Structure 1
Amino acid sequence: MTTMDHKSQSGGRAWIMLLLASAFEVGYALSVGGSQAFTVLSWSAAALIFFLLTLYFLSSALRTIDVGIGYAVWAGIGSVGAAVLGSVLLHQPLTLYQGFWLAVIIAGVVWLKLADSAKLKG
């Protein structure tokens, strides 16, 4: 395996770890909402587990991905995921105006990922 192949494989693994961290962040946000200020034990326990998982996977991803890019992608996916799933699962309102700005966040996350690709780096 060449050095470039190893870097590419390592970078791909880091992005998968970052996506997992983002998914766990969504779970954390929804669990905190369901915990009712940590007064519901089951939701509070779920929040703690999701929090620990998101920290683990985020820290693993940031070993390879630049902190600024990784954190922005993690926060963007977590925000959009929590807003959309909060609307669906917790019946929280989501307006068209909010949906537009969430789409802007998604576009930013996609562009950050594209900017991190080896082809664009030269």
Structure 2
Amino acid sequence: MLLLAGTFEIAYALSVAGSQAFTVLNWSVSAVVFFLLTLYALSVALKTIDVGIGYAVWAGIGAVGSAVFGSMFLDQSLTLAQAFWLAVIIAGVIWLKLASSDKLQADETGLVAP
């Protein structure tokens, strides 16, 4: 569900960009729909994921996806330096998820999670 929320976040960001400050009706309607979908999917995902981890993953997916797809579909620039820092975000999200895993926490404390 968190991946779905991230996908909706990408669609929302691209729709906002395409709406040209909400002056293009179909892009504006799309932005509102994807905004509601991303909030709903994120809220469902946060029922089973800690809010800090869930929000970081959701925001990371949205940021990276918006930059990549914005450069592909909206003629936005994506420099090598920007791509590097987006890779750092991806690595950080992965590391954050790994650090919050039950197995890793059990290994650090020497206790097995219930």
TM-score (normalised: structure 1): 0.84
Deviation at 1:28, TM superposition (A): 0.1
- CA–CA distance in structure 2, aligned partners of residues 59 and 116 of structure 1: 19
Pair 1:119 & 2:103 matched: yes
| Aligned ranges 1:12-51 → 2 under 5 Å | 17-51=1-35
- CA–CA distance in structure 2, aligned partners of residues 27 and 112 of structure 1: 24
| Aligned ranges 1:90-109 → 2 under 5 Å | 90-109=74-93
- CA–CA distance in structure 1, aligned partners of residues 10 and 4 of structure 2: 10
Residue type matched to 1:110 in 2?
I
- CA–CA distance in structure 1, aligned partners of residues 100 and 28 of structure 2: 36
- CA–CA distance in structure 1, aligned partners of residues 41 and 33 of structure 2: 12
Most deviating of 97-106 and 108-117: 108-117
After superposition, the C-alpha distances for 1:49-86 in whole angstroms (9 at most, x for unaligned) are 10000000001111111111111111111000000000
Q: Percent identity?
A: 75
- CA–CA distance in structure 1, aligned partners of residues 73 and 2 of structure 2: 24
Partner of residue 76, structure 1: 60
Provide the aligned length of Structure 1 versus Structure 2: 106
Deviation at 1:113, TM superposition (A): 1.7
- CA–CA distance in structure 2, aligned partners of residues 31 and 72 of structure 1: 21
TM superposition outliers: structure 1 runs of 4+ over 4 Å: none
CA RMSD of aligned residues (A): 0.8
